[in-house]
Amino acid sequence: MSEKDIKKEQENTELEDNTANTEENNGQEQAEETVEETGSETKAEAELAEMKDKYIRLMAEFENFRRRTAKERMDLLKTANEDLMSELLPVLDDMERARQSMEATKDVDAMLQGLELVFHKLKHVTQLKGLKPIVINAGDDFDSDLHEAVTQIPAPSEELKGKIVDVIEKGYTLNEKVIRFAKVIIGA
């Protein structure tokens, strides 16, 4: 073999060694990347499991809140009028006593005074709870937000055309909300 051939062979051997080293290094890097990927995948899976657990707990907590709120609302609806009824019980007792005294006495003036007292007591209790009558006079303008036109009659005078002529039934508001519209007759 000539010196050239020996040099070429040495170069080839060095090249093969370098290639082998490079492949070995690449294999190690790939193995490290696989280990890193596996580590990051398990970390991601752990985070995902943790998030799922939090989600499930949050949904359960919300469902419990919804049920509790619905139950509280039903309890409130059942006892909403308790305060009003407690306030009306003395009026009911007074009405019972008035009825008993009407059977026993023939004095009309005394019965009227007793009924008047009971009526004022009832009116006072309802006003305390926010019930107010809608004040309407003949000749007032018709307002569809407060009044319900039952019928129209020929206006007694030219001034009452399109205006309220008579009130059939009082209207009421409860804390500024109309709970019964006033039934009125309008002049045509």
pLDDT in tens, 71-122: 999 888 777 777 778 888 888 888 888 888 877 777 888 888 888 888 999 8
Domain C-terminal end among 89, 111, 129:
129
Q: Is the pLDDT confidence value at 15 over 80?
A: no
Residues 109 and 172 in one domain: no
Measured CA to CA, the distance from residue 28 to residue 160 in angstroms comes to: 104
Domain containing residue 142: CATH number? 2.30.22.10
| DSSP string for the chain | --HHHHHHHHHHHHHHHHHHHHHHHHHHHHHHHHHHHHHHHHHHHHHHHHHHHHHHHHHHHHHHHHHHHHHHHHHHHHHTTHHHHHHHHHHHHHHHHHHHHHHH---HHHHHHHHHHHHHHHHHHHHHTTEEEPP--TTPBP-TTTEEEEEEE--SSGGGBTBEEEEEE--EEETTEEEEPEEEEEE-
pLDDT (mean) for 19-46:
64
Residues 14 and 48 in one domain: yes
pLDDT (mean) for 175-179:
88
pLDDT number for residue 185: 87
Per residue in 115-144, pLDDT tens? 888 899 989 888 888 889 888 888 888 888
Q: What residue type is assigned to position 157 of the chain?
A: S
Residues 31 and 69 in one domain: yes
pLDDT (mean) for 28-38:
56
Measured CA to CA, the distance from residue 101 to residue 139 in angstroms comes to: 42
Residues 1 and 74 in one domain: yes
Residues 31 and 64 in one domain: yes
Q: Is the pLDDT confidence value at 13 over 70?
A: no
Which range of residues forms the domain containing residue 95?
A: 81-129
